[in-house]
Chains A and B, each alone.
Chain A
Amino acid sequence: MPILTHLEAIRQGIGEEMERDSSVFLLGEDIGVYGGAFKVTEGMLEKFGAERVIDTPISESAIVGAAVGAALVGMRPVVEMQFMDFIACAFDQIVNMAAKIHYRWGAKVPMVIRGPSGAGVHGGPYHSQSNEMWFVHTPGLKVVVPSTAYDAKGLIKAAIRDDNPVIFYEHKYLYRRVKDEVPLEDYVVPIGQAILRREGTDIAVITYGAMVWTALEAAAQLEKEGISLEVLDLRSLLPYDEEAILASVRKCSKVILLHEDTRIGGMAGELAAVIAEKAFDDLDGPIVRVTAPDTPVPFSPPLEDHFLPNARKLAEAARKLASY
């Protein structure tokens, strides 16, 4: 099996879907001639032509609006946000149009909005956000955050085939740092299914995106200290895999919710609520959150390091919870 980076896996997934289905097309800023700010769509223009790989003006609202219209008439647009931070400009098109059209008029809106999110590359407050919760709180959307190359390809293919609008978060830190074996045969990773990245017995760490790797790093470290972490990768935030979450909680009886997003209103809060509601009698300790603090992402590298959750912070929280 070929070994691909996270970024290459996404590119391969999109390319396969474009070959498989002629209604799939791409639009975004600098995605054609330049190949995209991160080169996800490099080579696409040459391969599929300017009709299917469209360089757009710098207007996220116009791009998403065009995609919604195309989806309504039977196309399957894949929109690139140059940075997921810029998605705010298209907010109305996403939450009031794409998300509500099926509910209101019964029409399908099969579209994907994808792009790089997350911090760790000294991008500052406008190029580093993890703003997935804006959309997790919007019924009518699906929100996906892969952590491995295999999942990135399988999920982008599933997102393109999905008849609902899907917001697809690619962590820019993982683009070229994470590699794994990615099959050439056609496969999808179903949206809404979590996966156990590591089995453990003492504490379930529930996380997603780049933090999956952080959790695995901490787990390897804590194993030497006799603390066994289980790592559950959500992969999809909306819908999320409640069954898998509760199974891990019931098994370990203690749980840490980890994400790079800031604390208040983060995914951890939602998960804490569902765990408290449905697995209260299985808890042997408080539900613990490890998240970024409630500030914008700092530009200064030392401040950004301080801002981001890491293996050390997670291990600290895990030790404390283990001895609780």
Chain B
Amino acid sequence: MAAKVIMPQMGESVAEGTIVRWIKKVGERVERDEPLLEISTDKVDAEIPSPAGGTLSRILVKENETVEVNTVLAEIDGEAPDEGAGASVAGPAQPVVSKPAVPEAPPTAEAARRIRSSPLVRRLAKEHQIDLTRVQGTGEAGRISKNDIEAYLASAKAERPAPEGTAPSLPVPPSSAGAPAAFTGPTQRVPMTPMRRQIAERMVTSKRISAHVSTFFEVEMTRVAETLVQAGAEFERRNGIKLTYTPFFVRAAVQALKQFPIVNSSLDGENIIYKRDINIGVAVALETGLIVPVIKRADEKNFLGIARALRDLADRARSKRLSVDDVQEGTFTITNPGIFGSLLGTPIIHQPQVAIMGVGAVEKRPVVRNDAIAIRPMVYLSLSFDHRVLDGALADQFMAHIKVALENWDESVL
């Protein structure tokens, strides 16, 4: 029987998804759980594993088309019965068979993570510090073989990923910066990617909904910079994470949010919704656009916990392995234009939140101290807030709290 591949529900509120790319072509063989296509929804982009093994016989939805959840996208002509109907095969009303050892797996990005390999592959992965979830298995049932890992190593050598030292939230900008491939006339019309369309719509909507106001603070970073110098090496040795400025800003913001719960709220009609949890979204720039993974319950994490969460989310954002959950439920957002050298920005609020903080570049500047000119590491922080909910006085008190925390940093990071 032909197994049907359906558009998965990538989150409760997600009603539709766009086909970004078919990884397999019609007529090609596909193993169960082998990546079949990439989709993009307004929450995340994800690779969809094949629900069954067989031959991809029909593609019903072309690339760049957007369809509703549960739409049939393709058909796979099944193979031997023991490979049978997979968990997510939407077959005609007949029992769905799944092997006892294999848990029912909806076709989400996480579902493809059940890795089959061999002792040799696991040893090589350990030796070369390879994350096996990134290696494409070509063996039986998608098993990762020695050849696969050797091919992965060869390709990894060719395109070395960002070096270890890169700060968690400091992605390298795309080299081509989104230029069209080639001009065939004076202008070139290029359709937006689903992600780009989504960002465009969100930004305009936010500008329309919220009464944006921005305020700016200049913060001396001497204490933080000293902490970085004094504890950086030991922090990295103990935790395997390079110590950067970002977790300091997140930590200071969390403390300020505790003092000013109104900044950790949203507006629903004529009601203000206060949020118990402090979930900090941190913007990560990717080649394809901006994504904002969220550190959940950041108020319950210590400094290391925040640094680790930042690193994990940034890594997974870049490897397209964020889950829907990772980008939801933010209550406050921090964006970091300073990494590209910007002094200060006026970011747009991430709805339905009521404020967003922008962090400029930390750099040494001449400042007046005791009526003398001194050289100090300085940073401009900006806050865009929704004037419907917050007034300037409160917003500035909130920012002052952050400024004081950073300038008088006394928390041990080790």
Residues of A within 8 A of B (CB): 253, 280-285, 323-324
Contacting pair A282 B143 (CB below 8 A): no
Of all chain B residues, the one with the shortest Cβ separation from A323 is B140
Q: What are the residues of chain B within 8 A of A282 when measuring CB–CB?
A: 119-120, 123
Known: A253-B146, A324-B145. A284 touches B120 (CB 8 A): yes
Nearest Cβ distance between residue B362 and chain A, in whole angstroms? 46
Q: How far is the CA of A284 from the CA of B143 in the complex (A)?
A: 10
- Closest Cβ of chain B to A282, distance in Å, is 5
Q: List the B side residues contacting A253 at CB < 8 Å.
A: 118, 120, 146
List of A residues within 8 angstroms of B121 by Cβ: 284
Instruction: Please give me the residue from chain B that is nearest to A252 by CB atom.
Output: B146
Known: A281-B120, A283-B120, A284-B119. 15 other contacts (CB 8 A): A253-B118, A253-B120, A280-B119, A281-B119, A281-B123, A282-B119, A282-B123, A283-B118, A283-B119, A284-B120, A284-B121, A285-B145, A324-B139, A324-B140, A324-B143
Closest 8 CB pairs of A and B: A284-B146, A284-B120, A281-B123, A284-B118, A253-B146, A281-B119, A324-B140, A283-B119
Chain B's interface size range is 10 to 19
User: With A and B bound together, what is the CA distance between A282 and B120 in angstroms?
Assistant: 5
- How far is A285 from B140 in the complex, measured between Cα atoms in Å? 11
Tell me which of A282, A284, A285, A323 has the highest count of chain B C-beta atoms within 10 A of its own C-beta: A284
Residues of B within 8 A of A323 (CB): 139-140
How many angstroms from the CA of A285 to the CA of B118 in the assembled complex?
A: 6
Contact mask for chain B residues 128-147; partner A; CB cutoff 8 A; 1 contact, 0 none: 00000000000110010110
Nearest chain-B residue to A281 (Cβ)?
Answer: B123
- CB of A100 to closest CB in B, whole Å: 39
Q: How far is the CA of A281 from the CA of B119 in the complex (A)?
A: 5
State the CA gap A323–B148 with chains docked (Å).
12
Shortest Cβ distance from A247 into chain B, in angstroms?
15
21 example contacts (A-B, Cβ-Cβ < 8 A) are as follows A253-B118, A253-B120, A253-B146, A280-B119, A281-B119, A281-B123, A282-B119, A282-B120, A283-B118, A283-B120, A284-B118, A284-B119, A284-B120, A284-B121, A284-B145, A285-B118, A285-B145, A323-B139, A323-B140, A324-B139, A324-B145
CB distance from A248 to the nearest CB of B (A): 14
Contacts of B143 in A (CB 8 A): 324
B331 to chain A, nearest CB (A): 47
> Bound complex: CA of A284 vs CA of B121, how far in Å?
7
Residues of B contacting A283 in the complex (Cβ-Cβ under 8 angstroms): 118-120
Neighbouring A residues of B120 by C-beta, 8 Å:
253, 281-284
Smallest beta-carbon distance A138→chain B, Å? 33
Q: How far is the CA of A282 from the CA of B118 in the complex (A)?
A: 9
Which residues of A lie under 8 Å from residue B146 when comparing CB positions? 253, 284
A283–B123 Cα gap in the complex (Å)? 10
A106 to B248, CA, bound (A): 79
Minimum CB distance partner of B148 in chain A? A284
CA separation between A281 and B122, bound complex, in Å? Answer: 8
Bound CA span A324–B118, Å: 10
Contact with A along B102-132 (1 / 0, CB 8 A): 0000000000000000111101000000000
